[in-house]
Chains A and B, each alone.
Chain A
Amino acid sequence: MNSIRILLADDHVVMRSGLRVLLERQGGFQVVAEAGDGRQAIELAETHSPDVAVIDIAMPNLNGIEATRHITTKRPDTAVVILSMHSDESYVLRALKSGARGYLLKDSPEADLINAIRAVHDGKAFFSPAISKMMVEDYMRQLQQRGVEDSYELLTAREREVLQLLAEGKSNKETATILNLSLYTVETHRSNILQKLNLHGTPELILYAVRKGVIS
């Protein structure tokens, strides 16, 4: 099996070299480039075509979110894991909207990073367990406070399946294949789900799935 080619982007040299050591100690990872800011990250992603880019949010010149937007637009084959100190869901949502698939807190254990890189490389979403936990808790608390019936109950069994696959990062087409449905049916399910849950777009759908504990 080919090792996963990785781009590291962080303005702290110590951080970058630490991550490099950490990753290369594992088998199957290869750090192909290191960037000190957002612009450099975009350039290096162009020249090295990495499988996964691990990008810090707070960087000079161009922040990690903007850099991610560029990279995922220009190079859809490169999956992005955002590294951040912010555990708030606003940041997570913003990162997802910019095209990132993984969101990791900087103080996560190393195993999380390994798992995250592997997951996004496989086309799945990954969040720091701390973040998933927090989002689920927030959701439960809101439900409790409002006493509103759980919107998840509104979904049919088929819709829940579709929700999970889409949230895991599968495309409509992949979902259709897995569930043995037509593409048109999956698209209909998707728009019904979004409408029932009052969501706008895939990033919010992923966040919802995390909150509900459908994926983690």
Chain B
Amino acid sequence: MWRSSRFIVISGFGGLLVLMTFAGVDAMRLLRGIQRRNEVIRQDFLNRNRVLNQIRSDVYLSGTYVRDYILEPEPQNAVKHRTSLEKTRRDMDAALRSYSVMLSADETQPYQTLQQELAEYWKVLEPALQWDVEQRRRKGYEFLRDEVLPRRMAMLSIADQIAAVNERQLNSGSTQVASLFTQFQLRLASTVFVTLGLGLALAGFSARKILRLERESIQARSELQELSARLVEAQETERRSISRELHDEVGQSLSALLVGLSNLSAAIPPSAGAELKPHVEGIRRLAEDSVRVVRNITLLLRPSMLDDLGLVPALQWQAREVSKRTGMQVDIAVENVSDELPEQYKTCVYRVVQEALNNCARHAAANTVRIIARQGREHLMLSIQDDGGGFRPDLHRGLGLLGMEERVTHLGGTFELDSEPGRGTLIAISLPLELPNT
């Protein structure tokens, strides 16, 4: 399951990235296409315009050369003019041919008309080019006025028509570009939409996944806490039973042994006393040592006063013991604390105090420790304050403190730790007391 969700997340985010890249590249490509298209349209327009202007100027020129030719009295000069005219005609033909290549549908009609007019023009001019001086002088003016000039005007107007068409084409080109833009916008919008949708789906999936993981981790943590609480409880039960067993069985038997030895010693007849008494005395010392060892182990495991006498005597004993062992002054103030506290509360408070005193003696190098236990109507409060070295709770939090905190939170209580290097340590816990009807 973990593998498959990882696959989904990776492929989802990967897909999203690919999609976004694709959308960007596509948009760039489209934009470049539009730009190129624009350029082509403009270039096209300029080309046509140039060729058209060439044709127009050739039309003018040809008129000029015709006039010069007809009105020239010198035959030699007339030939020169005619040659220029023929060159102009060739130029014009070439221009027309080159224009025919880029001819658009709209221009076909005026172009053909122009072509016809030109053909007509040259046809009219043809005979006049063969005239001699006399003929030219006689018919020249009329010819120019009646044939050449009107035709020239007509051709120029046709060229203007074509130019107008060309202009329109430029405009329609702009429209095309605009529609391309619209298309581009649509495409971009749809890509963005798809990307957003996919992203949203992915985010939803990831969020659900994360929430579930979080839930699972919370559950796992609470299970772990439960487990550790049960472990602590089992340990406590075990300690108590070993402690009891040691005390009640081993301890008592050793005590009986001591009494028996006393009797044995008294029963030794005086004659054998010198030989046997030292042996009995040796055994007696051994038994006494054993009693002491058993008592110490018992107290270390779980002090019997916790069960026999209740929490307060056990705490007082603990305070005295630590004081005796370490030289620290341990003050204990108890207010209102009942001897009938539930088992877990007694154990919890006792172990917290034990651990705290241990820390005070071992790490804090405290001179004085002040323990206050107070039972209110709803809470059992405990505070342990020392004047030792203190520490940074965010940096050094040992297993002991963790264990204390766990014991307390398991009973639904709060655990506070306040310490700073050079300012001592304060531990304060508050345990809610169960209400009688729950």
Shortest Cβ distance from residue B361 to the other chain A in the assembled complex, whole angstroms: 14
Shortest Cβ distance from residue A62 to the other chain B in the assembled complex, whole angstroms: 13
Cα–Cα distance between A145 and B25 once the two chains are bound (Å): 84
B309 touching A94, Cβ below 8 Å: yes
Shortest Cβ distance from residue A39 to the other chain B in the assembled complex, whole angstroms: 17
A158 in the interface, Cβ–Cβ < 8 Å? no
B251 touching A85, Cβ below 8 Å: yes
B329 in the interface, Cβ–Cβ < 8 Å? yes
Our pick among B255, B316, B323 for the contact of A15 (Cβ within 8 Å) is B255
On chain B, the residues within 8 Å of A109 by CB distance are 262
Our pick among A21, A22, A107, A138 for the contact of B324 (Cβ within 8 Å) is A138
Cα–Cα distance between A88 and B291 once the two chains are bound (Å): 15
A25 touching B305, Cβ below 8 Å: no
Cα–Cα distance between A197 and B248 once the two chains are bound (Å): 37
A146 touching B329, Cβ below 8 Å: yes
Contact with A along B242-261 (1 / 0, CB 8 A): 00000110011111111110
Most buried by A among B248, B259, B308: B259
A196 in the interface, Cβ–Cβ < 8 Å? no
Most buried by B among A11, A19, A58, A86: A86
Within 8 A of A (CB), among B271-297: 287-288, 291-292, 295
Shortest Cβ distance from residue A31 to the other chain B in the assembled complex, whole angstroms: 13
On chain A, the residues within 8 Å of B255 by CB distance are 12, 15, 85, 106-107
Cα–Cα distance between A25 and B264 once the two chains are bound (Å): 11
Instruction: Considering the complex, give the chain B residue whose CB is closest to the CB of A93.
Output: B313
A43 in the interface, Cβ–Cβ < 8 Å? no
A30 in the interface, Cβ–Cβ < 8 Å? no
Cα–Cα distance between A86 and B251 once the two chains are bound (Å): 11
B122 in the interface, Cβ–Cβ < 8 Å? no
A27 in the interface, Cβ–Cβ < 8 Å? no
Shortest Cβ distance from residue B384 to the other chain A in the assembled complex, whole angstroms: 17
B256 touching A85, Cβ below 8 Å: no
A12 touching B262, Cβ below 8 Å: no
Tally of chain B residues near chain A (CB < 8 A): 33
Most buried by B among A18, A19, A56, A109: A18
Cα–Cα distance between A83 and B259 once the two chains are bound (Å): 12
Instruction: Considering the complex, give the chain A residue whose CB is closest to the CB of B303.
Output: A88
Known: A90-B313, A90-B316, A141-B323. A18 touches B256 (CB 8 A): yes
Known: A15-B255, A22-B259. A85 touches B305 (CB 8 A): no
Instruction: Considering the complex, give the chain B residue whose CB is closest to the CB of A56.
Output: B252
Our pick among B253, B254, B313 for the contact of A94 (Cβ within 8 Å) is B313
B309 touching A91, Cβ below 8 Å: yes
On chain A, the residues within 8 Å of B309 by CB distance are 90-91, 94
Instruction: Considering the complex, give the chain B residue whose CB is closest to the CB of A18.
Output: B259
B300 in the interface, Cβ–Cβ < 8 Å? no
Within 8 A of B (CB), among A1-50: 10-12, 14-15, 18-19, 21-22, 25
A172 in the interface, Cβ–Cβ < 8 Å? no
Contact with B along A77-100 (1 / 0, CB 8 A): 000000001111111011000000
Task: Return 11 A-B CB contacts under 8 Å, by A number.
Answer: A14-B256, A14-B260, A15-B259, A18-B259, A18-B263, A90-B309, A90-B313, A138-B320, A138-B324, A141-B324, A142-B323
Apart from the given pairs A90-B309, A141-B323, 8 other A-B contacts in the complex at a CB distance below 8 Å: A25-B263, A58-B304, A91-B309, A93-B313, A106-B255, A107-B254, A109-B262, A146-B329
